Amino acid sequence: MVCPRCIEAVRTLFEQAGYTPTDVTLGQVQLDENTPVDPSAVAPLLREAGFDVIMGRADQLTEQIKSALIEYLEHLRTARMPLTTSAFLTDRFAATYSHLSKVFSRTANLTIEKYLIRMKIERVKEMLSYNEMTLSEIAEKMRYSSGQHLSNQFRQVTGRSVSEFRRDLLPRRLSLDQLG
């Protein structure tokens, strides 16, 4: 759940299943502690609406790490002296990075670092689609050491160069401009 609409949708689905959530936040629904939960009553409704159901502690921690990494990207972008990923996560979870990394890798089948790189590249794609900054400016904003480093990582993750990505965006931008 990444937006207020998702949170409200989950609240509504739980109410449809006969539960009264006391709190619904990113990736978590709290019910009264005396309320027995029947996952089979809620899980199909959530899946049908496009939500994943996470029941195990490791899965919950992995989702919490993913949410924290979204916040970390913003921290990277705005902090004058940003924390390292490991420092940010250990501060957030009061657990060793080694523990967080092992749990994440086991449940997500991907390292925290690779997941973060994918998230950064998605943000870069978004920034490229606005066509307002040079690659060097984007690299600086996203805390890459250089435009070349970003370019190499972009190709590694997407299988395309930044130029190819921009070229593929051009027809879409033109058709949208022609409509307006």
- Taking only the tens place, the pLDDT of each residue in 108-124 is 999 999 999 999 999 99
- Could you tell me the residue range of the domain that residue 144 belongs to? 118-180
Question: Quick one: pLDDT at residue 52?
Answer: 75
The answer on 39 and 13 residing in a single domain is: yes
Distance CA 159, CA 180 (A): 32
The answer on 85 and 65 residing in a single domain is: yes
Distance CA 34, CA 172 (A): 53
What's the whole-number mean pLDDT along residues 52-68? 84
The answer on 162 and 123 residing in a single domain is: yes
Query: At 162, which CATH number?
Result: 1.10.10
Rg of the chain (C-alpha set): 20
Question: Quick one: pLDDT at residue 43?
Answer: 80
The answer on 124 and 69 residing in a single domain is: no
Give the total number of structural domains in the chain.
Answer: 3
Helix axes 57-78, 97-108, angle to 10 degrees: 110
Question: Quick one: pLDDT at residue 1?
Answer: 44
What's the whole-number mean pLDDT along residues 167-176? 66
What's the whole-number mean pLDDT along residues 13-40? 80
Distance CA 123, CA 117 (A): 10
